[in-house]
Copies of this chain bind each other. A is one copy, B any other.
């Protein structure tokens, strides 16, 4: 059976190292699944749809499409944009005008909300369209899925960095032997927790990990730091950007909010550095890796990349069966050996829900994770992605801005 109509795929929110693997899965899945129409890429997420800013993905060179499997960042461009009331009519017009019958949205919580709204809109307007969400977030905070594409690679890079900077810290006798690493993750501690994978022996970094899932006490924190320092002569501390006090207030947050109304985080490392220096009297060095956490394809997880691709492919399979309003999920097999397959969940069960690290995976002192977390996370960082290099640096690829057929299709 040939499937009629065109498709649009878009990427949204903060990129990951492997978000283009999902895009590649959608493109190759589309080409292999007997779709009749073109597959368009919307530039900068849902904004590209609103502005009819599309590129033709069906006509990209095979090499370029393959290159997506080792290229980080949003190849299509991404956005943070919350749909407004007046956008819905416009969206429907764009869909109708371009005969768009399939919509794939690769993103996190907010993007699944957007995908769900598009799905609802099509239903309400009796416009036949299949909407499928593809999970993507280094924060690993989407519900109803064992884990999220993007997380394993960020976890691997973070753990490797803690391993390496931990060796550095241990080696040098100087006067600033307290290291503080601020890690992304918003309200979930998955990323900060992942640095525990670096620890193979008692004295290895990290020594202390603070997560948003349990209340942060400055007093206890200072005692923990002092105790570790007294014991080892150095201390490696990892803090999640979203840690909160016992009333649930962020320890540090900016007054500004993003377009989804979330408070912007960051700046925590500086505040805790000052706290330690003033109260414990030992100098602190901070590492703030920022967006390097979500783009380090040069040391990404092969498992994560393969699964991200699999999620993209599965989304197309769902679309080919006309299953609309779902997000692809990951299901982990029971048993000792790691195996992951795909499932699906209704978008409205995912939209705007945050999944957190289970409190029973955090130690009693609230300053580290236990073996349950390690068993969960370790399989997700296995293997490396082979990245070709040019002149000593990764040779990442870009999509060609092929638009001419689109204008033909529109006219």
Q: Which residues of A are interface residues toward B (Cβ below 8 A)?
A: 11, 13-15, 17, 44-45, 47, 71-81, 156, 159-161, 163-165, 167-175, 179, 197-198, 256, 258-259, 266, 270, 283, 285-292, 294-299, 301, 378, 381-384, 389, 391-394, 396
Contact = CB atoms under 8 A, between A and B. Distances in A.
Nearest to A378: B391
Contacts of A290: 165, 179, 285-288
Contact of A301 (B172, B285, B287, B392): B392
A174 B393 contact: no
A374 B383 CA distance: 33
A304 to B, nearest CB: 10
10 contacts: A11-B171, A15-B167, A78-B171, A174-B258, A197-B391, A198-B393, A287-B289, A289-B292, A298-B298, A381-B391
A377 to B, nearest CB: 10
Contact of A171 (B77, B286, B299, B378): B77
A292 B299 contact: no
Given A77-B173, A174-B79, A301-B392, A168 B381 contact: no
Nearest to A74: B171
A396 B78 contact: no
Nearest to A172: B78
A43 to B, nearest CB: 9
Given A74-B172, A77-B171, A285-B291, A394 B163 contact: yes
B396 A378 contact: no
A266 B277 CA distance: 15
A283 B75 CA distance: 23
A286 B267 CA distance: 10
A262 to B, nearest CB: 12
A172 B15 contact: yes
A78 to B, nearest CB: 5
Contacts of A393: 156, 159-160, 163, 197-198, 381
B256 A165 contact: no
Which of A160, A394, A396 has most chain B Cβ within 10 Å?
A160
A291 B73 contact: no
A172 B136 CA distance: 14
